[in-house]
Amino acid sequence: MTALVRHRLFWPAAVLLLLLAANVAFTPGFLSIEMKDGHLYGSLIDIFRFGAPLILVAIGMTLVIATGGIDLSVGSVVAISGALACLHISGLPDQNDVGGVLTAVGLALGLALVLGAWNGFLVAGIGIQPIIATLIIMVAGRGLAQLITDGQIVTVNSASYKLIGGGYWLTLPFSILIVLAVLALTAFLTRRLALGMLVESIGGNATASRLAGIRSRGLTVAVYAFCALCAGIAGLMISSNVSSADGNNAGLWIELDAILAVVIGGTSLMGGRFSLGGTVLGALVIQTLTTTIYSIGIPPETTLLFKALVVTVVCLVQSPAFREKVFQRRGRRRPAAPQATDDEKVEVPA
Residue whose CB is less far from another protein, 158 or 255:
255
- Nearest of 55, 69, 57, 132 to residue 269 by alpha carbon: 69
Residue of 64, 85, 137, 245 that binds another protein (CB under 8 A)? 137
- Alpha carbons within 13 angstroms on the beta-carbon side of residue 290 total 13
User: Which stretch in 14-22, 24-32, 48-56, 125-133 sits in contact with another protein by CB under 8 A?
Assistant: 125-133
- Nearest of 134, 103, 128 to residue 116 by alpha carbon: 134
**Considering the rule CB under 8 A, would residue 147 count as an interface residue with another protein?**
yes
**Considering the rule CB under 8 A, would residue 317 count as an interface residue with another protein?**
no
C-alpha–C-alpha distance, residues 349 and 119, integer Å:
30
Which of positions 274-313 make contact with another protein (CB under 8 A)? Answer: 299, 301-308, 311-312
**Considering the rule CB under 8 A, would residue 114 count as an interface residue with another protein?**
no
Which of positions 326-345 make contact with another protein (CB under 8 A)? Answer: 335-336, 338, 340-345
Which of positions 189-248 make contact with another protein (CB under 8 A)? Answer: 189, 192-195, 197-198, 200-201, 204-205, 207-215, 219, 247
C-alpha–C-alpha distance, residues 101 and 170, integer Å:
21
CB atoms under 10 Å from CB of 338, counted, come to: 8
Which of positions 247-266 make contact with another protein (CB under 8 A)? Answer: 247, 256, 259-260, 263
**Considering the rule CB under 8 A, would residue 25 count as an interface residue with another protein?**
no
Residue whose CB is less far from another protein, 76 or 239:
76
C-alpha–C-alpha distance, residues 235 and 246, integer Å:
10
Helices (H), 2-97: 2-6, 10-26, 43-66, 74-90
Residue whose CB is less far from another protein, 138 or 229:
138
Residue of 114, 139, 181, 185 that binds another protein (CB under 8 A)? 139
Alpha-carbon torsion 23, 25, 27, 28, what sign? positive
